[in-house]
A = this chain, B = another copy of it.
Amino acid sequence: MTNPRILAHFQESADLKMKAASVLAQPIEQAIELMFTALSNGNKILACGNGGSAADSQHFAAELVGRFERERLPLPAMALTTDTSILTAVGNDYSYQEIFSKQVQAFGQAGDILLAFSTSGNSGNILAAIEVAHERDMRVVALTGKGGGKIGKILTDADVHICVPHDRTARIQEVHLVSLHCICDGIDVALFGDDA
Contacts and interface: CB of A to CB of B under 8 A. Distances in A.
Interface of A: 1-3, 5-7, 9-11, 13-15, 17-18, 20-22, 24-26, 28-29, 32, 51-52, 54-56, 58-59, 62-63, 66, 68-69, 82, 84, 168-170, 173-174, 177-178, 181-182, 184-186, 189, 194
A58 B54 CA distance: 9
Contacts of A59: 51-52, 55, 173
Given A10-B178, A14-B14, A169 B69 contact: yes
17 contacts: A2-B26, A3-B28, A5-B185, A5-B189, A6-B29, A7-B25, A9-B182, A10-B17, A10-B21, A10-B182, A54-B58, A68-B170, A170-B181, A170-B184, A173-B177, A174-B177, A177-B177
Given A9-B181, A181-B170, A51 B62 contact: yes
A52 B56 CA distance: 8
B13 A25 contact: no
A142 to B, nearest CB: 17
Contacts of A51: 59, 62-63, 66
